[in-house]
Each structure stands twice: as structure tokens, then as C-alpha cells.
Structure 1
Amino acid sequence: MKLVWSPETASKAYIDTVKSCRSFKEHSGVEELLSAMAAGWNAKLIVQAWLRGEPIPTSIGLAIAARHACGRHVCIVPDEQSRQEYVEAVRAYADGSPATEVVVGEAEAAMEGLVGVDFLVVDCERGDFARVLRVARLSPRGAVLACKNACKGNVSGFGWHGALESGTRVVRTVLLPMGKGSGLDIAHIGSKGTGPPVSRKGPSRWIKHIDARSGEEHLFRW
């Protein structure tokens, strides 16, 4: 069984995220894209490795995606202080954001109980972001991994094949100039037991993103 793309579900999550996040000053457009992708791939387990101090819109978008996909959105934080800050930030969002589960712990411990991850978002400014990627227990039907702030200096030399567990089949990767120039690096991981270990070929999909502020339309080949 593989991840199956649903444009209708993606559109619903995208629109709901635009409506929910338009009031945030930190709004960058990344949250709408990630929400649409997570919902569109019908992700049942969406995991986010949150960085303390990170703006909350991405979490809102992923929670909305989980609702549309009838799945779970789990946020992992390194310590209790980060958990309190995250919960307070979400609580300040007062229009009924879908529930998010919060797991406290370092990468290995936090990811241990999260089996079958379909969609994973990490912030490259987290010191342990590479460990989170490596220890993630991905779904056998495939997964989508997204790294925020991928163009920052502290991720110099980052490569998907070196960051993931040996034998992981990376089907396609794309680096998008989003997030105020900080970059969004995305990888599609193939289902287990199908095809060659590494491939960047195959049918492409086009994802349309409209900036809620400027109205500009962007097309990304995926």
C-alpha cells in the first residue's frame, strides 16, 4: 500500500489554514503548503519536531491537516519548559484549533512510541534535527519529510541520504525558497519493498501555492 494523493482534501486543508492563519504576524505561506501536502497525502500520523520560540502557524496548519485526513498531529518538544511554552502558544489561538498531542523528550525517546509516521516536519535550527530524522519510524507505505529553515548556516552539508536510516528509499527531493528565504527542503520517501533504493525519476505533480498576502501564484513541481 502506498500514499495516495487527494487534491480535494489538500484544497480543503489549504483553504482552512489560510483562513485560520491570516491574523498571525509570523505568517509565511509555509504553513498552508505543509497543511495541504499532509492532508493531500492522507497522512494518518503527522509529527512535528517543534523548536522553542518557533511561530505557531505551522502547528495550526498541521493540526488542520490531521483533522481533514482523520489522523493525529503529534508535536515533540525537548523539555517541560518547551512544552509549557508550546501549550500556551496554542491556547492563545482561540478559534477552536484541532487538538494536538504533545510528547516531551529527546529525539530517540520521543520518537520511540510514534510508529508509522506518514508526515514529519522538523526545524533545522533544532540542534537534534538530524537525529529526529534518523530515528523516525516511518510508515511502510511511504512518507513525506519536510525541513524548515533548510538554508540556514547551521545545516551546511546536509543531505537526505546521509541523514536517513540506511536503506531508506528517497524517491524525490525539492528545495523551495519559502519562509522568508530560509528554505523548505522536502523529501518523498517510497514505500518499502518497491523499486530501487534511490530514484529521482517518475511522474511529477504540480502543487499550486497562492501567497495569501501578495496574491502571487507559485507552481512547484513535485
Structure 2
Amino acid sequence: MKLVWSPETASKAYIDTVKSCESFKESSVAELLSALAAGWNAKLIVEAWSYGGPIATSIGLAVAARHTCGRHVCVVPDERSRLAYVKGMNESAGISATEVIVREAEEAMAELVGVDFLVVDYKRKDFVRVLRFAKVSNNGAVLVCKNACQGNNISGLRWNAVLERGTRVVRSVFLPVGQGLEMAHVGSKVKGEKNLKNSPTRSRWIKHIDQRSGEEHVFRGKFRAEVD
């Protein structure tokens, strides 16, 4: 199954987030992520918040969850972070219904099965573990790493290296919004060999461009169609 985009829902969430984040000087990230989460009709929106970070994105995700009738869950590593997060949400937007899970990354993500939209702060030391242990929805999911320009992350996030083995990255992109957003659309996990074994074999032309030399290579490859 594939994600289905709803421009109407995205627009509503965007406008509501603009209103809710009027007091923030830079809320472009919050507005964009809110629109994306709502537009993809995300039912389980998970956020890995970093202590001391701004709360605007959290407000935007909460707004998106309201429009999709979904859940907005925030994952924090300790009680200090939980208290700061809850206080920030209450003081900034008067939002108190957001679920907060205080766990190590692996334990927290194990509880959240079927993630549709995940936002991780690059400033978190365990941001890779949050991504790796994410249990994405069978319909696919959108994964976002914000503050991607921080530290030495100048060569781009290698999604296949940080995600759980078997996760299929459909498309990835870097957006120069805020402090940088690394985004990836992932599909359901690759089907097992048992399902592919009896599926029909097809062939198609495949184009590959060498990132270093710029040379274009075209070859004919065979693949097996997935059988549901």
C-alpha cells in the first residue's frame, strides 16, 4: 500500500499551525512538518524531542494529529526532559493531551508499532537508535531528521545505514529549512524470499549514474514482482 496525499487536510493543518505559532520568530519547520503529517493522514505521529529544544515543531505535530484524528507521541530519555516538554507545551500552546513516553530509544520505539510520521532531532545523541528501532506502518512512513546541519553532518544522512535492515527507502531529500531537514519516504519492509520465490520474473532497463564521475550506465536487469 502507498501513502495517499490530501492537500485539503495539509492546508488546514498549515493554517492552524501558523496561528498557533504566531509567537515564534521562526516557525517554518513547524508549519511544513504539520502540513506534511496531516497531508499524509498520519495516524501515529512520533517525535523524539531533545531537551532544551524549541517547542514549535511539537505544536505543529499536535495540530496535525488533531486533523487526522491520530496520536501524537513524544519520546524523551528522562524525567527532566518530560517535565520541560510538558511545561513548554502548556505555556506555549496550552496543549496538554500529548502523550509522552520516558524510555530508552529501543524500549520506547518497541511500544510504538505502525509509525506513519517520525520526527527526530539530530541534536539527540541517540537519534540513530530512534530511527533504527522505529516500527513503521505497512502503508509506508515519512521519517524526518531536523537540525541536520548541526555538527559534522555535511555529507547527508545515509538512510540505509541508520534504518533497520529490510527497510525500503523509496525517496529521500534534504530541505534547507530551519537548520536543515533530512527526509525520507520509506515503504513497507521488503517481502521475504518465500513470497518472491513463486512470483513471475520480469525485466526492465535500469539507469544508474555514478555520483563521482557523473557517468551514466544503462543495463537490463531482471526482478521478481512482489506477490501480496
- Normalised to the residue count of structure 1, the TM-score between the two structures is 0.82
Residue 187 (structure 1) aligned to one of 180, 184, 205:
184
What's the CA shift for 1:93?
2.4
Q: Would the aligned equivalents of 1:18 and 1:32 in 2 still touch at CA under 8 Å?
A: yes
Match of 2:92, SS state, is coil
- The answer for the alignment partner of 2:20 in structure 1 is 20
Classify the secondary structure of the residue corresponding to 1:15.
helix
For the residue of structure 2 that corresponds to 1:153, the secondary structure is coil
**How far 1:109 sits from its partner (Å)?**
1.1
Partners in 2 of 1:89 and 1:186 — Cα distance? Answer: 26
Q: Deviations over 1:167-215 (max 9, x none)?
A: 2111111101111xx2101000123458xxxxxx9xxxxxxxxxxxxxx
Letter in 1 for 2:110: E
Q: Deviations over 1:35-68 (max 9, x none)?
A: 0000000000000000000100000000000010
Q: How does 1:33-182 map to 2 (within 5 A)?
A: 33-94=32-93, 96-97=94-95, 99-155=97-153, 158-179=157-178, 182=179
Q: Is the 8 A contact 1:64 1:98 kept in 2?
A: no
Change over 3 Å in CA distance of 1:22–1:56 after alignment to 2: same
The one-letter amino acid paired with 1:36 is: A
| Number of positions where the alignment pairs a residue of Structure 1 with one of Structure 2 | 192
Counterpart CA distance in 1 for 2:184 and 2:30 is 17
Structure 1's unaligned 5+ residue stretches are 195-200, 202-222
Runs of 4+ with >6 A deviation: none
Percent same amino acid at aligned positions?
70
Q: Is the 8 A contact 1:45 1:116 kept in 2?
A: yes
Amino acid at match of 1:191: S
Relative to the length of structure 2, the TM-score reads 0.80
- Matches of 1:137 and 1:51, distance apart in 2: 20
Quote the Cα distance in structure 2 between the aligned partners of 1:166 and 1:156. Answer: 24
Evaluate the alpha carbon distance shift between residue 5 and residue 98 of structure 1 in structure 2; reply closer, same or farther with a 3 A threshold.
Answer: farther
Give the superposed CA RMSD: 1.9
Task: Tell me which amino acid in the other structure corresponds to 1:89.
Answer: G
Mapped contact 1:67–1:98 kept (Cα < 8 A) = no
Q: For 2:35 and 2:175, how far apart are their aligned partners in 1?
A: 15
> What SS does the aligned partner of 2:182 have?
strand
Within 1, Cα distance between the matches of 2:158 and 2:14? Answer: 29
